[in-house]
């Protein structure tokens, strides 16, 4: 049976890895007071197309035997930001602002599948939205919370690159350029085009050679501390918006320094980052993974002051979105999985079919103390039952004793082969064996 291209599915041990990642994200987001919501998978087409750019990728729904246009105008959401903005407007009267939320759901895009790009994929977003205004420290908070969450994941080293539209726009305005957005969109192509080509494109826009070279010099500045500020100042451009942007960006990098110090996630100011989407107004984020730079950014976002507005009220926000599938599908393909395909920490062996009730009772005793336990499906020879546990990655097999006390209850550690007598009323597997663990391959460690 052919798999559907662009619609990745995981085997149970791979899903256990994904579950561990999703649990860790949830734990961090909730520790910081972010509330969870889910939005419906569909939105009216006019909501989806408001931004204009992405229309070709939307999956439109139609009922199989639909007559006329009963459902006309519903499509699957292609991100979680547009539905969240709609949810905020629709429920504003029932929400408390600033509203911190996290949202982990699948999204769909009809684009051509390629590495790191799927037609169905999971995103994990955090956003903070205010009613009318939103203080800048919210930008610091989402950066710090996502960096902290990422630092706890069993993945290669990540670099969270932070920039600020105000720095770029203020700098361009300080140079006297009249259309900073157009300049930004050209400089944003530095990923794909050489610097010389960027200079040509800027010249075509009427940007003088000195200014163009200054724009390029700005884009080349990055630092893991606040030293970028002096390097920008050294370019000799002045503008109040530039000052504001530099101070904001420095605040984000400074606040994330303790996380950077941990080494798993480095938060860096990187003035090459501009984010193509046009609704960002200040802080912007992108994230690359060591050894997987070809995937592009796996975690992006920024400050948007105008995204959610019903005409009367505006709800400015700042958010960051982790591409869970973009992160995990390639790592899984390279061998990152959980050490078991089941949640079970213990397999209770079956002496014979007649004693299934006794094995069930032993299992239930362990479960009552929080130990995931399954009973062997059939009363095969113990050697076969042991191999059954091995194939699933279940670390312990429990062999029931008999009521007469002639045969003691014993536990075998599958990994060492060691077998000991136990009292099931008190025996417990080690804490670290209760849940599936992530098996990091050499590739991931490098």
Residues 167-226 that bind a second copy (CB under 8 A): none
Considering only residues 135, 176, 262, 430, which one is a binding residue for a second copy as defined by CB under 8 A? 135
Rounded least distance, CB 404 to a second copy, Å: 25
Q: Identify the bridge partners of residue 161 per DSSP, sorted by sequence position.
A: 268, 286
Rounded least distance, CB 168 to a second copy, Å: 27
Q: Any residues with CB less than 8 A from the CB of 50 and at least 6 apart, and which?
A: 82
Query: Rounded to the nearest 10 degrees, how much is the dihedral formed by the CA atoms of 106, 109, 113, 114?
Result: -80
Site stretch for a second copy (CB under 8 A), options 156-164, 179-187, 240-248, 337-345: 337-345
User: Which CB atom, from 208 or from 335, has the smaller least distance to a second copy?
Assistant: 335
Rounded least distance, CB 65 to a second copy, Å: 5
Rounded least distance, CB 302 to a second copy, Å: 20
Rounded least distance, CB 190 to a second copy, Å: 30
User: Which CB atom, from 107 or from 212, has the smaller least distance to a second copy?
Assistant: 107
Residue 5 in the binding site for a second copy (CB under 8 A):
no
340 near 16, Cβ under 8 Å?
Answer: yes
User: Which CB atom, from 108 or from 228, has the smaller least distance to a second copy?
Assistant: 108
Rounded least distance, CB 166 to a second copy, Å: 20
Count of all residues that appear for the chain in the document: 446
Considering only residues 152, 356, 410, 437, which one is a binding residue for a second copy as defined by CB under 8 A? 356
Contacts with a second copy in 24-83 (CB under 8 A)? 30-42, 44-45, 55-66, 71, 74-76
322 near 299, Cβ under 8 Å?
Answer: yes
Considering only residues 79, 84, 108, 149, which one is a binding residue for a second copy as defined by CB under 8 A? 108
Residue 136 in the binding site for a second copy (CB under 8 A):
no
Contacts with a second copy in 383-422 (CB under 8 A)? 388, 391-392
Q: What is the DSSP string of 74-96?
A: EEE-S-SHHHHHHHHHHHGGG--
Considering only residues 95, 193, 250, 414, which one is a binding residue for a second copy as defined by CB under 8 A? 95
Rounded least distance, CB 5 to a second copy, Å: 11
- Closest residue by Cα to residue 178 from 166, 186, 169, 187: 169
Q: Any residues with CB less than 8 A from the CB of 361 and at least 6 apart, and which?
A: none
Residue 9 in the binding site for a second copy (CB under 8 A):
yes
| Residue 52 backbone zone (phi > 0: left; psi -120 to 50: alpha; other: beta) | left
Site stretch for a second copy (CB under 8 A), options 8-16, 209-217, 280-288, 290-298: 8-16
251 near 173, Cβ under 8 Å?
Answer: no
Q: Any residues with CB less than 8 A from the CB of 330 and at least 6 apart, and which?
A: 115, 116, 292, 295
Distances (CA, A) of 269 to 59, 144, 222: 36, 14, 5
Rounded least distance, CB 370 to a second copy, Å: 7
- DSSP category for residue 225: S
Quote the CA–CA distance of 24 and 434 in Å, as a whole number: 16
Please give the size of the binding site for a second copy, defined by CB under 8 A. Answer: 77
User: Which CB atom, from 290 or from 377, has the smaller least distance to a second copy?
Assistant: 377
User: Which CB atom, from 178 or from 364, has the smaller least distance to a second copy?
Assistant: 364
Quote the CA–CA distance of 26 and 36 in Å, as a whole number: 9
User: Which CB atom, from 272 or from 340, has the smaller least distance to a second copy?
Assistant: 340
Structure-block tokens of residue 342 = 């089941």
> Residue for token digits 């999985």?
337
Considering only residues 123, 161, 373, 385, which one is a binding residue for a second copy as defined by CB under 8 A? 373
Rounded least distance, CB 217 to a second copy, Å: 33
Quote the CA–CA distance of 214 and 217 in Å, as a whole number: 5
Residue 247 in the binding site for a second copy (CB under 8 A):
no
Residue 100 in the binding site for a second copy (CB under 8 A):
yes
Quote the CA–CA distance of 267 and 285 in Å, as a whole number: 10
**Strand, coil or helix: what is 98?**
coil
Rounded least distance, CB 344 to a second copy, Å: 4
Considering only residues 25, 77, 79, 101, which one is a binding residue for a second copy as defined by CB under 8 A? 101
Q: Any residues with CB less than 8 A from the CB of 106 and at least 6 apart, and which?
A: 41, 120, 121, 122, 123
C-alpha torsion sign, points 330, 334, 339, 344: positive
User: Which CB atom, from 181 or from 364, has the smaller least distance to a second copy?
Assistant: 364
User: Which CB atom, from 118 or from 292, has the smaller least distance to a second copy?
Assistant: 118
User: Which CB atom, from 275 or from 412, has the smaller least distance to a second copy?
Assistant: 412
């Amino acid at each position: 049976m052919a798999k559907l291209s662009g619609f990745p599915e995981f085997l149970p041990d791979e899903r256990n890895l994904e579950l561990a990642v999703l649990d860790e994200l949830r734990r961090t987001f909730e520790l910081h007071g972010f509330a969870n919501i889910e939005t419906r998978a569909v939105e009216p087409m006019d909501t989806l197309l408001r931004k204009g750019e992405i229309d070709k990728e939307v999956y439109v729904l139609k009922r199989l035997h639909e007559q006329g246009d009963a459902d006309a105008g519903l499509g699957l959401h292609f991100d979680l930001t547009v539905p969240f903005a709609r949810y905020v407007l629709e429920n504003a009267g029932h929400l408390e602002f600033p509203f911190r939320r996290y949202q982990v759901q699948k999204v769909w895009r009809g684009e051509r599948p390629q590495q790191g790009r799927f037609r169905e994929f999971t995103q994990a977003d955090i956003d903070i939205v205010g009613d009318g205004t939103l203080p800048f420290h919210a930008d610091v908070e989402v950066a710090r919370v996502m960096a902290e969450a990422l630092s706890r994941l069993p993945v290669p080293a990540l670099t969270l690159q932070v920039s600020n539209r105000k720095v770029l726009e203020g700098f361009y305005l300080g140079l006297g350029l009249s259309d900073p957005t157009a300049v930004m969109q050209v400089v944003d192509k530095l990923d794909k085009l050489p610097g010389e080509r960027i200079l040509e494109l800027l010249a075509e826009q009427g940007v003088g050679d000195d200014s163009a070279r200054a724009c390029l010099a700005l884009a080349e500045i990055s630092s893991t501390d606040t030293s970028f500020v002096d390097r920008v100042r050294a370019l000799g451009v002045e503008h109040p918006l530039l000052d504001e942007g530099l101070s904001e960006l420095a605040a984000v990098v400074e606040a994330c320094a303790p996380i950077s110090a941990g080494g798993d996630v480095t938060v860096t100011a990187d003035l090459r980052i501009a984010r193509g989407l046009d609704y960002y107004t200040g802080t912007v984020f992108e994230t690359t993974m060591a050894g997987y730079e070809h995937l592009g950014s796996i975690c992006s976002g920024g400050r948007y002051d105008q995204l959610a507005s019903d005409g009367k009220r505006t709800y400015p926000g700042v958010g960051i979105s982790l591409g869970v599938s973009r992160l995990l599908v390639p790592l899984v393909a390279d061998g990152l999985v959980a050490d078991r395909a089941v949640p079970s920490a213990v397999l209770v062996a079956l002496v014979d079919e007649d004693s299934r009730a006794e094995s069930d009772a032993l299992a239930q005793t362990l479960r009552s103390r929080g130990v995931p336990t399954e009973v062997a499906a059939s009363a095969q020879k113990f050697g076969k039952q042991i191999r059954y546990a091995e194939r699933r990655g279940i670390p312990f097999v429990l062999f029931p004793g008999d009521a007469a006390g002639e045969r003691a209850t014993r536990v075998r550690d599958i990994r060492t082969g060691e077998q000991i007598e136990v009292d099931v009323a008190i025996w417990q597997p080690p804490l670290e064996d209760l849940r599936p663990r992530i098996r990091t391959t050499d590739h991931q460690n490098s």
